[in-house]
Amino acid sequence: MLDLIGGLAWAVEGNARLIVDIAMFFGLLVIVAMAINFQYGNAGIPNMGCAVQVIIGGFTVSAITTRLTFWAVAQAGVELLPYDNDFDWVYNNMVNVSVLSNGYLKDNATLCISLLLFSIAMCILLGAVIGWIIAIPAIRLRATYLMVTLITMADASQIIGRNVVGISGGTLGMFVPNVFAFYPGDRTVIMAALTLFIGLISFFIFKTMLNSPYGRLMRSIRENEVTVGSVGKDVVSIRRNILMFSSGITATAGCLLAFYYSFVVEANYQRAYWTYWPWLMLMMGGPGNNAGTFLGTTLVVALRRIIIVYKWVFDRMLFFPIAYFERLLLGILLLVVMIYRPNGIIPEKLLYIPGINYRQLIREEVPVDWRSAPKASKAGGGGILDRLRGKRGS
């Protein structure tokens, strides 16, 4: 029965297993860190509540997808054990998921894929909803109030998740259906590949949003809110939109984590892991640009894996349990980075929007067509500027 849970989740062994694991967590943390970079590095919103957004992704999988699977499986005729009240929800969960649902899902590739896509879509939607909810009290206030509120909300979401059993199995946690049951090999490999792929897609999404007039608007809100408000932009609703958008993308990280473990418990989504470490990655690499975020994530993930792999060496050197060493290192690194490299390792640069020449804009009426402008991959801004000045067209 055990092999039905994971689809041979330990088929990959040895060094390859370590690499798959690192790749998976790297992918997840890079999604979260890029979303935080989008909010803080570009729009100036210090989002200390990413743990809430990630946990919503996990809860979507455990609460909604699981129930949907049970319904679909029951429609197909498989007898499920009862799961109406809290006790049965947790105690019958393992048999329901591992034996019955996964046994059915094994033969139904289309159902599996559609469940996966539905989960991701639902996560983005619910992530946006939670972004709207956490924006209600805090979006009008100064940054420090925002941080205070968001940190407390992260704690609140953990408490609620721990106590409302129907969401994610309370303190014990619950299994979720394995959406790759049809895959004959190790599902962790395909999950890691999927996570990295989604990381790549989200990188492109964030990059496109940044190098567009909307990105310029975000940067201007960060620099001077009052000016932006005085020219007629609704600053509060723009900030709320940014928060909702990033929440949606962050929630997919929680969803992917849930499918990776095939298990959801609220203790997997702790505040320190999903808020403070991504912030450290962001600050270390440099807020405001994606390359910095990526570099920071790489460094921090490498650091943590080194600590884990060389655990016994450290244990002999330190006089306290090694578990707290990581936390100590987190605090110290954050302080060191902020004192010695406040702009991160890769500092921020000016925003390049293709086709915008600010001087021409100020001096005269210039139609700006970013679509015909040379992209960053071509020679640069030389061509359009010449054309605008009426010189040789080229």
Partner 1 sequence: MDYDTIFFWVMIAIWVIMPTFIVYEEIMERRALREALQTEETS
Partner 2 sequence: MLLSALWMAAVIYACELTILSIGFTLTYLTAKIPNFAHGTYAGIGIFTVWICDRIFNISPYYGFPFAFLFCGIFSAAMYVLIINVLSGLGAGLIVMTIATLAIQIFLQASLWAFSYWLRSITGKYTTGFLLKRTDFVLFDTPGIFFVALGCSIVSIVVLHWMLTRTRIGIAMRATSEDTELSAVLGIDVNRIQLFAWFLTGGLAGLAGAMVPMWFASSAATAGAMQTSIMAGSLLGGFTNMYGAIIGGFSIGLLEILLTFQLQMTIGTWVGEYRPIIPMLVLVLVLIIEPEGLQGFYRRFTATKTGERFLKAIGRGE
Q: Which stretch binds partner 1 (CB under 8 A): 83-91, 93-101, 144-152, 357-365?
A: 357-365
Using CA atoms, how far apart are residues 258 and 306, in angstroms rounded to an integer? 25
**Could you give the angle at which helices 213-223 and 235-261 cross, rounded to 10 degrees?**
110
Query: Which of 352, 361, 369, 372 is the binder for partner 1 (CB under 8 A)?
Result: 352
Minimum Å gap between C-beta 331 and partner 2 is 3
> What stretches of the chain adopt beta strand conformation (E)?
174-175, 263-264
Joined tokens for residue 161: 């998740």
Question: Environment class of residue 84 by beta-carbon count within 10 Å: exposed (0-12), middle (13-18) or buried (19+)?
Answer: exposed
Query: Which of 11, 334, 366, 388 is the binder for partner 2 (CB under 8 A)?
Result: 334
Q: Which stretch binds partner 2 (CB under 8 A): 152-160, 239-247, 304-312, 352-360?
A: 152-160
Contact positions with partner 1 (CB under 8 A) in 254-293: 289-291
**Which residues face 263 on adjacent strands?**
175
85 binds partner 2 (CB under 8 A): no
Q: x/- string (CB under 8 A) for partner 2, residues 283-302?
A: x-------------------
Q: Considering only CA atoms, which of 87, 50, 48, 84 is closest in space to residue 67?
A: 84
- Do residues 272 and 331 lie in contact, with contact meaning Cβ atoms separated by under 8 Å? no
357 binds partner 1 (CB under 8 A): yes
Using CA atoms, how far apart are residues 165 and 265, in angstroms rounded to an integer? 10
Rounded to a whole number of angstroms, the CA Rg of the chain reads 24
Query: Which of 125, 143, 200, 361 is the binder for partner 2 (CB under 8 A)?
Result: 143
332 binds partner 2 (CB under 8 A): yes
389 binds partner 1 (CB under 8 A): yes
109 binds partner 2 (CB under 8 A): no
Question: Environment class of residue 298 by beta-carbon count within 10 Å: exposed (0-12), middle (13-18) or buried (19+)?
Answer: middle
The position carrying tokens 């909300």 is 153
Backbone angles phi, psi at 98, to 5 degrees: -70, -50
- Do residues 270 and 70 lie in contact, with contact meaning Cβ atoms separated by under 8 Å? no
Site residues for partner 1 per CB under 8 A? 11-12, 16, 19-20, 23, 26, 30, 183-186, 189-190, 192-193, 196-197, 199-200, 203, 207, 211, 289-291, 294, 298, 349-350, 352, 354, 357-359, 374, 376-382, 385, 389
Site residues for partner 2 per CB under 8 A? 46, 48, 136-138, 141, 143-145, 147-149, 151-153, 155-156, 159-160, 162-163, 272, 276, 279, 283, 319-321, 324-325, 327-328, 330-332, 334-335, 338-339, 342
